[in-house]
Amino acid sequence: MASAPPRTTGLRSDLLAALTVALVGLPQCLAYAIMSGLPPAYGLATAAVPGLVAALVGKSPHIVTGPTNTTGLLILAALGPFLGDNGLLAEDGLAALATLTLMAGATRILAALAGGASLVDFIPESVLTGFTAGAGLLIALMQLDEALGLSGVRAADAAHEVSAVFARLGEVAWPAAVTTLATVAIVVLGRRVRETSPGALVAVAAATAVAFLFDLDAAVGLPVVADRAPVPTGWPPGALPSLDPALIRAFIGPAAAIALLGTMELAVSARRGGAQPDMRREIFAQGAANVVGAFTSAFPASASLTRSALLELGGARTRVAAAVAALLVVPMLFFAAPLVAALPMASLAGVLFVTAARMLDRRRIERVWRASPVSRNLMVVTFVATLTLPLEWAVFIGVAFGVGQFLASSRRPRVQLLEPRGDRFVPVEQPEAGPVVVLEVSGDVYFAAAGAFERLVLDRIPACPEYVVVDLSHARALRVAGLLALERVDARIRACGGRLHLAGVSDEVAALIADSGSALSFEGFDSEPLASVRRALRRR
């Protein structure tokens, strides 16, 4: 039996993985804060506090919690009424930020306690693909003004952003445009050399160093963070959550959408590599992280797909790695304010462009497109909704459309005519002339399918059969509505002097027949295929 690795080796792996995540994730945290409509310091606070709490409360060693790209757009949309002229959250909106974060956390806690881990099963892959692609395109479009160094663009959505930028193409600041292109090139080339390459960190650090040393800012065509908002040394200011009923009502939809998407990101991250995490505990940990974050100047946090993957690739073995990665960003708030203030906005836009491009996964989109018309429709509907509707509605519409497609496909069970030939029963389209009809039912026969089930059975039998056997061995979810449908079929057959007999009846359905006082006759389920049908035929 192999011996366990020394504790010092495991701790060393955790610390190295934590350092990698902290360094590579630093520009992401800053960029996602800007994308969410918040000064960059709030990205560090969100990576620190919710990240630490989730690591302590959760159980998975490979989950990094903090700012994410998909939830960033939802946050921006929710906080839109509270943004200032510079496009960032105004001081009087801090209470709204705390309220949104608290509600996103409370929603996850309630979901965990109520068995919400199963919610992920209701999000089709095609919906996820459509939303991710749409969100990626939105992220790229909403950064056009920063990438081109255009100040004063205050767009509420992507359409207005593109329109405003197009109208001011003659004002493009070329230092900003060059910085954006250089950042993209460094990040892309770095990832081609090595997937875990800190290319984003190198690009942002180099751009910041140049801007800091040469005192560059918007006056020379390279807007920096300080041009958008002051960067004080220390923890960013916050406020207590508001108890305003109107604000709480306004945030119900966004908070639910953030919780739903966050749970989805969590499930993907936690199940990476075939892991079987305790999803109830992990969802609860995410909720607790956001509840604490609401009182510590954080915005809604979720499990980061990219940083969680980095943690695993770095060899993390315990939750210590995620906790240390969260703590490593704290010194930036207290000792690096001048550097953060000198960070070029165009460089952060370049990081977000690369992030957006990775979200537009062409191979994944092609696979969903070719899979089936239903998958293709789900993906397209969600993609279009993401680009044209409030993001929380795009998520809910995609999920609702997926559930609707499932219900539409499941509400029509299969009813097949069978004909005995020797020892076998052969499917046929039309039965031979005779007094006996055998039908095999497969699929769901729940309330929404009962009407279609009754019509299909009546369509498959002649006008006045003498003896009809309905095999329910492969029928699922037969409840009262299905039982009533069978009784109506039985009444039609008896009106012509015939008889209906059920075969393959499960113990559950048999109990339903007995408890409801139904007069339907039946044969119990038999594990041998069609054995109950043969018994039913002998009772003729």
Task: Quote the pLDDT of residue 119.
Answer: 64
pLDDT at 122 over 70: no
Encoded tokens for 250:
């306004």
Beta bridge pairs of residue 414: 442
Encoded tokens for 277:
């995490």
The one-letter code for the residue type at 246 is A
DSSP class of 2: P
Task: Quote the pLDDT of residue 225.
Answer: 82
For the chain, the 3-state helix, strand and coil shares in percent, each to the nearest 5, are 65, 10, 25
Encoded tokens for 198:
């800190």
Domain ranges of the chain: 8-405, 414-538
Q: Phi and psi dihedrals of 330, rounded to 5?
A: -60, -45
Give the three-state DSSP class for 136. Answer: helix
pLDDT band at 292 (very low <50, low <70, confident <90, very high): very high
Q: Residues 437-442: what's their mean pLDDT? A: 91
Mean pLDDT, the chain, as a whole number? 85
Q: Phi and psi dihedrals of 304, rounded to 5?
A: -85, 125
SS3 labels along 165-190: HHHCHHHCCHHHHHHHHHHHHHHHHH
Return all residues near 98 (Cβ < 8 A) that are at least 6 apart. 238, 239, 240, 241, 242, 294, 295
Span between the terminal Cα atoms of the chain, in Å: 65
- The residue ranking higher by pLDDT, 264 or 211, is 211
CA distances from 38 to 172, 178, 227, 294, 472 (A): 24, 25, 14, 14, 59
State how far the Cα of 486 lies from the Cα of 457, in Å rounded to an integer: 9
Beta bridge pairs of residue 420: 425
Task: Quote the pLDDT of residue 1.
Answer: 44
Task: Quote the pLDDT of residue 382.
Answer: 86
pLDDT tens for 383-423 read 888 888 876 677 678 778 777 777 776 667 889 888 887 77
pLDDT band at 339 (very low <50, low <70, confident <90, very high): confident
Q: DSSP secondary structure string, 414-476?
A: EEEEEEEETTEEEEESSPPSSSEEEEEEEEE-SHHHHHHHHHHHHHHS-SS-SEEEEEEEEEE
DSSP class of 142: H
pLDDT at 313 over 90: no
Task: Quote the pLDDT of residue 352.
Answer: 80
pLDDT tens for 345-366 read 898 888 888 878 877 888 889 9
Task: Quote the pLDDT of residue 266.
Answer: 82
Burial class (CB in 10 A: 0-12, 13-18, 19+), 436: middle
∠ Cα 410 411 415 (to 5°): 95
Cα 32 to chain center, whole Å? 18
pLDDT tens for 4-33 read 455 556 788 788 878 878 876 787 788 889
Give Dmax (Cα) for the chain: 99
pTM of the model: 0.69
Is CATH 1.25.40.10 correct for 414-538?
A: no
Highest mean pLDDT out of 66-80, 262-276, 419-433: 66-80
Q: DSSP secondary structure string, 473-500?
A: EEEE---HHHHHHHHHHHHHHHHTT-EE
Handedness of CA 463, 469, 471, 475 (dihedral sign): positive
Beta bridge pairs of residue 421: 424
Task: Quote the pLDDT of residue 15.
Answer: 85
Q: Which residue has the tokens 């990626």?
A: 136
Candidate from 152-156, 161-165, 338-342, 536-540 with smallest mean pLDDT: 152-156
- The residue ranking higher by pLDDT, 315 or 500, is 500
The one-letter code for the residue type at 289 is A
Cα dihedral 321/324/329/335 (nearest 10): -150
Encoded tokens for 338:
């001048």
Candidate from 158-162, 308-312, 456-460 with smallest mean pLDDT: 308-312
Percent of the chain beyond pLDDT 70? Answer: 91
